[in-house]
Chains A and B, each alone.
Chain A
Amino acid sequence: MDHHSPGPDSCAELRAQVRELTAAWRDAGRYTPRSDSWLRSFDLEFSRELATRGLIAMTYPEEFGGAGRTNVERLAVTEELLRAGAPVAAHWIGDRQIGPAVLRHGTRELQEEIVPRIASGEAVFCLGMSEPEAGSDLASVRTTAERVDGGWLVNGHKIWTTQAHHATHAYLLARTSRGERKHEGLTEFVLDMDAEGVSVTPIVDLAGEHHFNEVRFENVLVPAQRVLGEVGQGWKQVVEQLSFERGGAERALSSYPVLVELISESARQKDDRELRALLGSLVARLAVLRRLCFEVAGAMDAGQAPVQQAAALKYLGNAFEHDVIEALRRTDLCQDPAFDSPFGQALLASPAFSLRGGAAEVLLSLIARQEARS
């Protein structure tokens, strides 16, 4: 792909554009900033507003409704949206990883069908990866897709499927053959959530919020052209997808609104040198995490899939997100936290930070395996 160079000016312009838009929506009361907004704050209208401004599908080619920009430019936009706690959950998954996966592996036909609809905010994706018996051990997928006339018959059960109740489409990882090794015989599909045989049941989280779901597939017919990439090569493809899933700013900024409170409180508590030092350490970590996001984006622009670096970023970013919340406990703001305060929201969301998208333990073992090889 022939990318134009992301000069500092283009990123500055994009930032300004996002700040203006989020400020306008916030001031008009059209959204309330919150922690973990990329997963929990769903507003199709806002996503479509971004789409009309070319602020989603930014790295996709123009012929598919994208803006032909770089991942570095996309980072400028995503980190500003996260900073603003904007309602971006409707397009986040599709924009982040499904569009790129279809562009990498999909047939021309599938690209033409799916990618422009992600770019316009029309297609809302959920991820059919985890299963009751295959969470961290993603490769032990049991959902099957059996070859039939005209396509594939899917049967199985996915869990922890974020925003499935709003999704128009699902990405699905299913077993298409049983080989010696569990990593073989997996295939990726794109399917319609309104297809016959798909059912969604909510799972309410500990904060009383509904973002998770269980999704069941009972004899769901998926047309042959909805196979993503090569039959049987699903594992290799999904591993590449993980660098998109893990290497973004959302892996460090889920508790950002709490850091904002900590900065203000440190300004008020001028004599609290301990608090200053704590804030200084956190700011240093944020600056480095942001640099890692920038490096991962640069590697993607160079055509690489920086799986290892993305895993390190996610591990470090999640630890930072937790520590920001814990840092606020050094102030009095943590006492009897209101349910909808930034601290309360972030704390209740925090157990998921180092689980979703690869648990901390899984990331460490992935990094360790790489180290043993190198």
Chain B
Amino acid sequence: MSRSQFADELRSLIDDLAAANGPDLWAALVELGLPRIGIEEERGGAGGSLDDLLVVVESLAGHGIGVPVVEASTADWILGHTGKLADGLATVLLLAEAPDATSGTVSAELTSVPWARDATRLVLCAPGSAPFLVNLGDPTVHVRNVDNIAGEPRDTVVLTGTPVTAAEGGPAYEEVRERLALLWSAAVLGASHGAYRLTRTYVSEREQFGAPLLKIPAVAGNLARMRVQLVQADAALSLAREARGSSGAVEIVRITTAAAATEIAQIAHQLHGAMGITEEYPLHRLTRRLWSWRDAVASERRWAESLGRRAAEAGETGVWTRITAPAATPASED
């Protein structure tokens, strides 16, 4: 099966699951092995590539579905480096600096831990050290529930002399950060597409002044502005997928998808009018996620500063050389 065929099958599988959107959706996804795509089978993964996982993340996000797919797939990918994967939900947190674990235990208050209340294991990644594994079921662990603006768990986890194990052989912090950034970019892109689809349907069907809203030139122009943002964000993700590992590509895709998300969420609400701000109508499931996810891992501003610093250091020649570096030809993706 060609790559794009497999991607299409993943998409339609997720469309079907989303249509059934029951409380057991995450269990169904786990059952199908989707969050473990991109991890080798001999390590307990589902096989497939990171590209396939990006398709899964993008498709789920396009339906405005909040499941811990980014966190679980990344945590399992880290743990898969060190041994066979166990059952249960693992999550991951990036830290600015490694916690003091000299005695084999850690005491710390960790904020914004995604899905901690539902997870059994937490992987902590910090620059310059191996990842640490925390058993969240340990009696020394206390979890306080906190939600982000999308209503997704970003809990506070208090560790008090909690035993940790170093996951030797795990990936470097930078690799984890890059993978998370790429996955969040795909999520933002997916939710942007979802908000666009909903808006296009709405302005095509909703009548005002005796005709569909889309007949009003200002409305049509705004819909087109959403489309060009998607064109830009799609291109940025393609670029990042092909340029994986090259510095700059991650910043570029984060900045571009975040900027697209901002404009798309704003226009989507404007075109939906008051309908879009009700709990009943599904737009907020997408826009609240766009507002949360666009600055995940690091804010758009941080990525921009980092890319700008590198550009200033590289000078015009360095910037130009990097931007025009040969990539795979567009037709060769399949």
Residues of A at the B interface (CB closer than 8 Å) are: 5-6, 8, 11-12, 15, 72, 76, 79, 83, 259-260, 263-264, 266-267, 270, 273, 275-281, 283-288, 290-292, 294-295, 298-299, 301-302, 309, 312-313, 315-316, 361, 363-365, 367-369, 371-372
Contacts and interface: CB of A to CB of B under 8 A. Distances in A.
Interface in B197-235: 200, 204, 214, 217, 220-221, 223-225, 227-228, 231-232, 235
Contacts of A290: 323-324
B126 to A, nearest CB: 24
Contact of B311 (A83, A266, A288, A309): A266
Contacts of A312: 227-228, 231-232
Given A12-B326, A287-B239, A294-B330, A280 B255 contact: yes
Contact of A371 (B200, B303, B311, B312): B200
Contacts of A286: 319, 323
Contacts of A313: 231
Interface in B227-255: 227-228, 231-232, 235-236, 238-239, 248, 251-252, 255
A280 B313 contact: no
A263 B319 contact: yes
Is chain A's binding surface mostly helix, strand, loop or mixed?
helix
B320 interface: yes
Contact of B239 (A76, A260, A288): A288
B318 to A, nearest CB: 9
B221 A361 contact: yes
A152 B225 CA distance: 43
B330 to A, nearest CB: 3
B223 A280 contact: no
A284 B227 contact: no
A280 B331 contact: no
Given A312-B227, A312-B228, A367-B228, A11 B306 contact: no
A283 B327 contact: no
Give the interface centre of A15, A278, A280, A301 by most chain B CB atoms within 10 Å.
A280
Nearest 8 pairs of A and B residues by beta carbon: A280-B308, A8-B326, A298-B330, A276-B308, A280-B307, A280-B304, A368-B220, A279-B308
6 contacts: A5-B329, A273-B305, A280-B308, A286-B319, A291-B238, A299-B330
Given A260-B316, A309-B231, A266 B330 contact: no
A294 B327 contact: yes
Contact of A277 (B214, B224, B239, B305): B305
B220 to A, nearest CB: 4
B144 interface: no
B311 A263 contact: yes
Interface in B158-206: 200, 204
B296 to A, nearest CB: 17
Contacts of B251: 280, 284
A116 to B, nearest CB: 29
B223 A287 contact: no
A292 B228 CA distance: 11
A288 B223 CA distance: 21
Contacts of B259: 281
Contact of A276 (B224, B231, B312, B329): B312
B313 A267 contact: yes
A330 to B, nearest CB: 12
Nearest to A9: B326
A11 B326 contact: yes
Contact of B224 (A6, A287, A301, A368): A368
Nearest to A257: B316
Interface in B73-101: none
B324 A15 contact: yes
A288 B305 contact: no
A290 to B, nearest CB: 5
Contacts of A6: 329
B315 interface: yes
Give the interface centre of B214, B306, B311, B322 by most chain A CB atoms within 10 Å.
B311
Contacts of A267: 312-313, 315
Given A83-B320, A288-B256, A365 B305 contact: no
A119 to B, nearest CB: 25
Contacts of A302: 331
Contacts of A372: 204, 214, 220
Nearest to A286: B323
Given A5-B329, A298-B330, 18 more contacts: A72-B329, A76-B324, A273-B305, A276-B305, A277-B301, A283-B248, A284-B255, A285-B232, A286-B319, A286-B323, A287-B323, A288-B252, A292-B231, A312-B232, A361-B221, A369-B220, A371-B223, A371-B227
A156 B225 CA distance: 36
B316 A280 contact: no
